[in-house]
């Protein structure tokens, strides 16, 4: 670490800390994830090695780049590129939301990143505003795969018992404790993010897992039969009734000013049944991006921004 000057904390992850640092010789800014001492703790060592293996698979213009990995005095260090700001910073600056064109430039790049991860059979599992980095030129880089998982079978999904995802962006299957979930959890989070960007407010700001389910049911109605069964079998919810979905407020009623195309895209992501949610690769072809040939024009613009960032 002596080659780097620490400039302060960027964030606290579950298995380590992320520091903003400057490389003393080159002046380059980086983000360094320092894992807790791993030699005594086999779990941390296993987590670190799994994260490193996964990160080395993920090279894409819209994913934050892993630059170096080293181990010193029983600790692993992951050195990443430092990117100027996060989507959370932008949302805090714009409490009523971002304009549609800015939003779709960011959304398109998030989908490119997520579609690439899913093609590699990797689920991010914690897509949220603070994990969406934005460079000075407007290039989006998804980060923090501390919770990411390789799906056990490329077909779809696997059996995962460890818990993940920041509550507000958590899909119904995660909230009821379904261990058989897949990349559709990232699509749900994307749908939540889309509406938050356009309104400036989190879509479902639950203050507990149960409250999170209530927010979702009040908007979309009952959980699927499978999720209801898992809910009532979940010891964390024993004795609790699922809310009646009377007094539902569907998205189009809640957001009458959102452009219908954007609302349609959100609804393609926010199906209660994970099987009905669109794939990220399909969403890149949604009319929000293909109307006025945005997706064709923007890719050229984006490549120029990426070159400028280098």
Residues designated catalytic: 126
3-state secondary structure at position 144 = coil
Tabulate helix, strand, coil % of the chain (nearest 5). 45, 20, 40
* C-beta closer to ligand TC0: residue 31 or 127: 31
- Judged by CB under 6 A, does residue 116 bind ligand TC0? no
- Judged by CB under 6 A, does residue 51 bind ligand TC0? yes
Q: In the bound complex, what is the minimum distance in angstroms from residue 262's beta carbon to ligand TC0?
A: 26
Question: How does strand 158-159 pair with strand 140-142?
Answer: unpaired
Q: In the bound complex, what is the minimum distance in angstroms from residue 123's beta carbon to ligand TC0?
A: 14
Among 44, 111, 115, 133, contact with ligand TC0 (rule: CB under 6 A): 133
Residue 198, C-beta contacts closer than 8 angstroms, at least 6 positions apart: 97, 98, 100, 103, 255, 258, 262
Q: In the bound complex, what is the minimum distance in angstroms from residue 168's beta carbon to ligand TC0?
A: 18
Instruction: Answer for the pair 186, 118: CB distance below 8 angstroms, yes or no.
Output: yes
Query: Where are the alpha helices (H) located in 42-136, listed in sequence order?
Result: 42-57, 87-93, 100-119
Residue 295, C-beta contacts closer than 8 angstroms, at least 6 positions apart: 108, 284, 285, 289
Task: Tell me which stretch binds ligand TC0 (CB under 6 A): 142-150, 154-162, 242-250, 294-302.
Answer: 142-150
* C-beta closer to ligand TC0: residue 113 or 175: 113
Long-range pairs of 238-241 with CB within 8 A, sequence gap ≥ 24: 240/210
- Judged by CB under 6 A, does residue 144 bind ligand TC0? yes
Q: How far apart are CA 28 and CA 238, in angstroms?
A: 52
Q: How far apart are CA 32 and CA 81, in angstroms?
A: 9
- Judged by CB under 6 A, does residue 106 bind ligand TC0? no
Among 143, 184, 192, 197, contact with ligand TC0 (rule: CB under 6 A): 143
Q: In the bound complex, what is the minimum distance in angstroms from residue 80's beta carbon to ligand TC0?
A: 4
* C-beta closer to ligand TC0: residue 77 or 145: 145
Per-residue x/- track, 180-199, ligand TC0 (CB under 6 A): --------------------
| Residue that has been written with the tokens 């003393």 in this structure | 24
Among 145, 160, 168, 181, contact with ligand TC0 (rule: CB under 6 A): 145
Q: How far apart are CA 169 and CA 174, in angstroms?
A: 10
- Which residues from 30-49 bind ligand TC0, rule CB under 6 A? 31, 33
* C-beta closer to ligand TC0: residue 33 or 149: 33
- Site size for ligand TC0 (CB under 6 A): 19
Q: In the bound complex, what is the minimum distance in angstroms from residue 81's beta carbon to ligand TC0?
A: 6
Q: In the bound complex, what is the minimum distance in angstroms from residue 208's beta carbon to ligand TC0?
A: 25
DSSP state of 84: S
Q: In the bound complex, what is the minimum distance in angstroms from residue 274's beta carbon to ligand TC0?
A: 24
How many Cα atoms occupy the beta-carbon half-sphere of 157 within 13 Å?
13
- Radius of gyration, CA atoms only, the chain: 20
Residue 210, C-beta contacts closer than 8 angstroms, at least 6 positions apart: 237, 240
Q: How far apart are CA 58 and CA 90, in angstroms?
A: 25
- Which residues from 71-100 bind ligand TC0, rule CB under 6 A? 80, 82-83, 85-86, 89
Where does this chain bind ligand TC0 (CB under 6 A)?
10, 13, 18, 31, 33, 51, 55, 64, 80, 82-83, 85-86, 89, 133, 143-146
């Amino acid at each position: 670490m002596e080659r780097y000057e620490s400039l302060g904390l960027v964030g606290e992850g579950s298995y380590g800390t992320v520091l903003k640092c400057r490389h003393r010789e080159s002046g380059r800014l980086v983000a360094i994830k320092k894992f807790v001492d791993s030699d005594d703790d086999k779990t941390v060592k296993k987590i670190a090695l799994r994260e490193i293996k996964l990160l080395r698979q993920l090279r894409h213009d819209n994913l934050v780049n892993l630059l170096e990995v080293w181990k010193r005095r029983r600790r692993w260090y992951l050195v990443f590129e430092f990117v100027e700001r996060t989507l959370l910073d932008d949302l805090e600056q714009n409490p009523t939301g971002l304009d549609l064109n800015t939003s779709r430039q960011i959304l398109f790049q998030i989908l490119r990143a997520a579609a690439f991860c899913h093609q590699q059979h990797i689920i991010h599992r914690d897509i949220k505003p603070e994990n969406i980095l934005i460079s000075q030129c407007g290039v989006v880089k998804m980060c923090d795969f501390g919770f990411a998982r390789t799906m056990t079978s490329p077909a779809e999904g696997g059996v995962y018992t460890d818990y993940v995802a920041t509550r507000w962006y958590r899909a119904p299957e995660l909230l009821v404790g379904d261990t058989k979930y897949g990349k559709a959890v990232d699509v749900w989070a994307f749908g939540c993010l889309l509406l938050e960007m356009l309104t400036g407010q989190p879509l479902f700001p639950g203050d507990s897992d149960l409250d999170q389910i209530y927010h979702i049911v009040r908007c979309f109605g009952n959980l699927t039969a499978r999720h209801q069964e898992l809910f009532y079998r979940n010891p964390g919810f024993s004795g609790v009734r699922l809310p009646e979905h009377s007094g539902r407020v569907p998205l189009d009623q809640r957001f009458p000013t959102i452009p219908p195309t954007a609302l349609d895209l959100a609804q393609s992501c926010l199906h209660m049944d994970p099987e009905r949610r669109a794939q990220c690769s399909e969403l890149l072809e949604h009319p929000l991006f293909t109307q006025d040939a945005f997706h064709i024009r923007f890719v050229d613009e984006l490549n120029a921004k990426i070159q400028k960032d280098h």
